[in-house]
């Protein structure tokens, strides 16, 4: 009866109410009545009320009863189907509880059968158990059926007996071990032979049931004691509280557990205890006692298998302490007289394992380091008290503690100095760092922000400039700087490129890749834009083209139409940084300008055109169901003939000096046509007009952008972190995945390349990455973390090898 865990241990008065034909008090919906039809020789009948035997009847009735008594459940009332148990601490309280329950039944028109109800009882029979102020006992009427059971003659009869007796297994210590001879007969392909061992187990279980103890009711406000034991026959456990037994539990070993070593079985007993009594132990303090001393060392072994690691994660969910006691000792007396109490750094409950003799271990391993993070530090307060006595500043405060300015300071009976309700921490930087490390880097805090960390620590500790020190500590944390997101404005003001002087002298280039392959084999688009007139060419290409193929397209499609550009701005794609492309542009006196690494905003204009072109192709494919390479010439025409706000005209008009003729733009008869010198003058004025518009648009864009950015500058030899968090359209390096760090480093700044770009000293494994980065990709390193190995002590040989020398001998063995 697991519901008894919700009955108060201080209950003294009981009443129980049984509803009259409970199911029949619920009417079935009219549209569902035909579904209950059944046929007899007297005709066809249908139920008008909910009948026994319907699939969802028990669940629905239980749902209805829980809904009716929702506000009273587990406070003074337990409901199981149509049985209602009411319990109270005294008679006055019980009268009020009965009045509430009966009023609730009247409100919902539920009727009870008076002959089955009982009120004002000191002990009550409920679900096969006897409840009283002493606790829970076995119902004698139910035990009689077990005592009168004849010797089983088939496997099914064994299952029937064990099912009835097993209902009271929590009253019988080592039930599974005792019943093992009988359960072995129920195994598959086992020969049925009723041996003397089976008869002994059969009679022993009967005897144990007749002498079953009275189990105490649990009190969730008090700690629990759990005693575990493991042997070759099975696992056994006892749950106790204040020396009284609450429940017994046991089970036989499974096939794979038979091969476990002794310490593995003992740990399995602890884990199984936490699982079966999770509703008691989770969220409450519990003390686990085991008679196997090696259990306290299993968590500090140099290596743990996967099973033990899983168990370790489960143990961390509980607020428990593991104690060792000899098997010969009186477990109850030992548990009550030998309890280890430790001072907690903070007063909140956390799942922690206390290893009482951890100091005996001399070799520190990775597993021990993990265990140390689970251990409650018992000497923090003692260290602070000792440091207070040795600190001169604390002595001065003690002497003037009665002054008005120091009225907030108090001394307790042990001479410990307190500020209001907080322990005063002296000016011991090592001790303060120990407190800050525990509050920031432990497994139970996981790098909180400075404000959260301060709010948590100020509940227990106080020292001068505490908030400032915490803020400085958090800001210099290497992990926090690498993983936490920035909530500041992006760094680096806008540095626009110089305005072009003439048409098609300065161009942008980029590729749109990843498109579906067409019948002609095209799968990419080469986008080339004039920075002055904004006119563009969209050229379909194939991803297997080499640099020579692109050079031929460049000469035929760009140079032949617009001449040789003065500058080409692009990203660091393989084409644009290739040696052949550079050798092609050098004789043409074309300067190649590349973006800084992972900063596509340098070519923001072509990125915007790429977006417009992709939208055009999507619309074309959706409207005309054409292949994208067939729509590309029309997309180029539509783009070049569209109005550009920065030019205040279309790119076609800016390039050729007149608007393009279309069905919506025609020439009227008699319209003035410009020739000769007037045409040249008009072209010059248009260029000046375009230049003026571009300058105004560029200035407006810079003002708009700089309002949302912040200036940031670094000096040579400073260290910075490099952003590696994903950005749209940018392929990053380093560790990939959702939980990858946002920054890597820190790296040293070698030089400043322009107003907002810096060259970094990258490690060898990042040699393939361009070492110049935009300032927005960098974050200042406030404190360079110490290297784990002193480079000055590592001597590199001429053949790039080095000799490893041990730092310290931790242990040695003789064979």
Report pLDDT digits (tens) over 20-52.
Answer: 888 888 888 888 888 888 888 888 998 898 888
The distance from CA 669 to its chain's CA centroid, rounded to whole angstroms, is: 74
The distance from CA 530 to its chain's CA centroid, rounded to whole angstroms, is: 49
Query: Whose CA is closest to 528, among 536, 517, 516, 520?
Result: 536
Structure tokens at 93: 């309280």
Return d(Cα 769, Cα 760) in angstroms, integer. 11
Q: What angle do CA 553, 558, 562 make, to 5 degrees?
A: 160
Instruction: Indicate if the pLDDT at residue 671 is higher than 60.
Output: no
Q: Per-residue confidence at 746, pLDDT binned at 50, 70, 90? A: confident
What pLDDT is recorded for position 339? 29
Return d(Cα 171, Cα 214) in angstroms, integer. 8
Share of the chain above pLDDT 90, in %: 0
Return d(Cα 606, Cα 537) in angstroms, integer. 11
Angle separating helix axes 155-166 and 196-210, nearest 10 degrees = 30
What pLDDT is recorded for position 780? 78
For 416-464, how does the pLDDT look when each residue is reduced to its tens digit (9 = 90+)?
Answer: 888 877 888 888 888 888 888 888 887 777 888 888 888 888 888 888 8
Contact 603, 497 (CB under 8 A): no
Q: Which residues face 112 on adjacent strands?
A: 19
Return d(Cα 217, Cα 135) in angstroms, integer. 5
**Pairing relationship of beta strands 234-241 and 224-230 according to DSSP bridges:** antiparallel
Tell me the longest C-alpha to C-alpha distance in the chain: 126
One DSSP character per residue, 453-477 reads HHHHHTTTEE-TTHHHHHHHHHHT-
Instruction: Indicate if the pLDDT at residue 177 is higher than 60.
Output: yes
User: In the sheet where 135-138 sits, what is the strand order?
Assistant: 123-126, 129-132, 135-138
Coil, strand, or helix at residue 95?
helix
Q: What angle do CA 705, 711, 713 make, to 5 degrees?
A: 140
Query: Whose CA is closest to 447, among 455, 439, 435?
Result: 439
Contact 723, 743 (CB under 8 A): yes
Mean pLDDT (whole number) for 746-756: 81
Contact 285, 224 (CB under 8 A): yes
Q: What is the mean pLDDT of the chain?
A: 73
Query: Whose CA is closest to 296, among 242, 239, 352, 355?
Result: 355
Return d(Cα 693, Cα 688) in angstroms, integer. 9
Return d(Cα 79, Cα 72) in angstroms, integer. 10
One DSSP character per residue, 389-444 reads HH-HHHHHHHHTTTSGGGTTEEE-TT--EEETTEEEP-S-HHHHHHHHHHHHTSTT
For 126-173, how does the pLDDT look when each residue is reduced to its tens digit (9 = 90+)?
Answer: 776 777 777 777 666 666 666 677 788 888 888 777 776 666 666 666
Query: Whose CA is closest to 272, among 285, 259, 290?
Result: 290
Cβ atoms within 10 Å, residue 601:
14
Q: Per-residue confidence at 114, pLDDT binned at 50, 70, 90? A: confident
Return d(Cα 318, Cα 315) in angstroms, integer. 6
Residue 286 host element (H or E): strand 285-290
The 8-class DSSP code of residue 195 comes to -
Query: Whose CA is closest to 646, among 684, 600, 692?
Result: 692
Contacts of 539 by beta carbon, 8 Å cutoff, 6+ apart = 525, 526, 527, 528, 553, 557
Residue 550 host element (H or E): helix 547-554
Please give the model's pTM, rounded to 2 decimal places: 0.39
What pLDDT is recorded for position 366? 42
Return d(Cα 515, Cα 301) in angstroms, integer. 55
**Highest-confidence segment of 112-116, 176-180, 366-370, 802-806:** 112-116
């Amino acid at each position: 009866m697991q519901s008894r865990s919700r009955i108060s241990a201080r209950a003294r008065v009981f009443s129980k109410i049984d509803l009259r034909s409970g199911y029949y008090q619920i009417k079935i919906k009219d549209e569902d009545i035909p579904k209950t039809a059944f046929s007899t020789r007297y005709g066809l009948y249908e139920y008008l009320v909910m009948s026994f035997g319907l699939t969802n009847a028990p669940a629905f009735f239980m749902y209805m009863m829980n809904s009716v008594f929702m506000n009273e459940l587990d406070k003074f009332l337990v409901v199981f189907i149509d049985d209602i148990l009411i319990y109270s601490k005294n008679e006055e309280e019980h009268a009020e509880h009965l009045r509430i329950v009966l009023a609730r039944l009247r409100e919902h028109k539920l009727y009870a059968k008076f002959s089955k109800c009982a009120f004002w009882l000191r002990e009550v029979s409920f679900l096969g158990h006897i409840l009283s102020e002493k606790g829970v006992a076995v119902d004698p009427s139910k035990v009689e059926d077990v005592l009168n059971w004849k010797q089983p003659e088939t496997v099914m009869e064994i299952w029937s007996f064990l099912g009835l007796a097993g209902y009271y297994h929590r009253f019988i210590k080592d039930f599974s071990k005792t019943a093992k001879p009988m359960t072995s007969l129920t195994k598959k392909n086992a020969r049925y032979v009723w041996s003397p061992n089976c008869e002994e187990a059969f009679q022993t279980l009967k005897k144990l049931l007749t002498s079953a103890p009275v189990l105490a009711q649990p009190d969730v406000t008090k700690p629990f004691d759990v005693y575990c034991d493991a042997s070759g026959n099975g696992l056994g456990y006892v749950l106790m509280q204040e020396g009284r037994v609450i429940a017994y539990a046991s089970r036989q070993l499974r096939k794979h557990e038979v091969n476990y070593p002794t310490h593995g079985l003992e740990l399995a007993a602890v884990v199984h205890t936490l699982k079966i009594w999770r509703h008691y132990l989770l969220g409450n303090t519990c003390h686990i006692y085991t008679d196997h001393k090696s259990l306290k060392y299993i968590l500090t072994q140099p290596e743990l298998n996967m099973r033990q690691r899983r168990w370790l994660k489960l143990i961390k969910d509980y607020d428990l302490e593991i104690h060792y006691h000899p098997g010969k000792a009186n477990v109850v007396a030992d548990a009550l007289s030998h309890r280890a109490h430790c001072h907690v750094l903070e007063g909140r409950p956390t799942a922690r394992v206390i290893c009482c003799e951890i100091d005996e271990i001399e070799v520190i391993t990775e597993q021990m380091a993990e265990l140390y993070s689970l251990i409650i530090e018992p000497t923090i307060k003692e260290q602070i008290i000792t440091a207070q006595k040795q600190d001169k500043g604390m002595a001065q405060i003690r002497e003037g503690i009665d002054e008005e300015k120091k009225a907030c300071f108090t001394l307790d009976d042990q001479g410990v100095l307190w500020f209001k309700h907080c322990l005063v921490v002296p000016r011991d930087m090592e001790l303060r760092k120990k407190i800050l490390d525990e509050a920031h880097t432990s497994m139970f805090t996981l790098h909180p922000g400075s404000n959260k960390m301060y709010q948590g620590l100020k509940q227990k500790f106080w020292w001068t400039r505490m908030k400032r020190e915490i803020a400085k500590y958090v800001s210099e944390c290497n992990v926090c700087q690498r993983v936490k997101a920035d909530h500041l404005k992006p760094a680096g003001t806008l540095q626009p490129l110089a305005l072009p002087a003439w048409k098609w002298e300065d161009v942008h280039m980029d590729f749109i890749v990843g498109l579906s392959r067409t019948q002609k084999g095209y799968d990419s688009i080469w986008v080339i834009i004039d920075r002055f007139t904004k006119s563009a060419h969209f050229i379909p290409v194939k991803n297997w083209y080499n640099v020579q193929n692109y050079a031929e397209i460049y000469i035929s499609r760009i140079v032949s139409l617009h001449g040789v550009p003065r500058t080409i701005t692009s990203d660091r794609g393989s084409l644009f940084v290739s040696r052949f492309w550079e050798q092609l542009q050098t004789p043409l006196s074309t300067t190649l300008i590349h973006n800084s690494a992972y900063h596509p905003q340098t070519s923001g204009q072509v990125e915007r055109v790429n977006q417009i072109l992709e939208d055009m192709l999507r619309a074309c494919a959706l409207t005309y169901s054409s292949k994208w390479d067939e729509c590309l010439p029309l997309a180029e025409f539509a783009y070049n003939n569209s109005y550009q706000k920065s030019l205040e005209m279309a790119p076609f008009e800016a390039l050729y000096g007149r608007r393009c003729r279309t069905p919506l733009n025609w020439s009227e008869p008699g319209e003035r046509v410009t020739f000769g010198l007037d045409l040249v003058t008009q072209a010059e004025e248009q260029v000046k007009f375009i230049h003026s518009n571009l300058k105004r648009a560029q200035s407006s864009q810079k003002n708009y952008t700089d309002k949302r950015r912040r200036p940031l500058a670094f000096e040579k030899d400073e260290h910075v972190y490099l952003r590696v968090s994903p950005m749209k359209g940018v392929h990053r390096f380093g560790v990939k995945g959702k939980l990858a760090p946002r920054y890597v480093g820190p790296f040293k700044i070698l030089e400043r390349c322009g107003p907002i770009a810096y060259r970094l000293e990258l490690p060898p494994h990042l040699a393939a990455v361009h070492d110049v980065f935009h300032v927005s990709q960098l974050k200042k390193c406030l404190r360079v973390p110490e290297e784990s190995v002193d480079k000055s002590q590592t001597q590199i040989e001429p053949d790039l090898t080095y000799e490893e020398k041990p730092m310290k001998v931790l242990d040695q063995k003789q064979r």
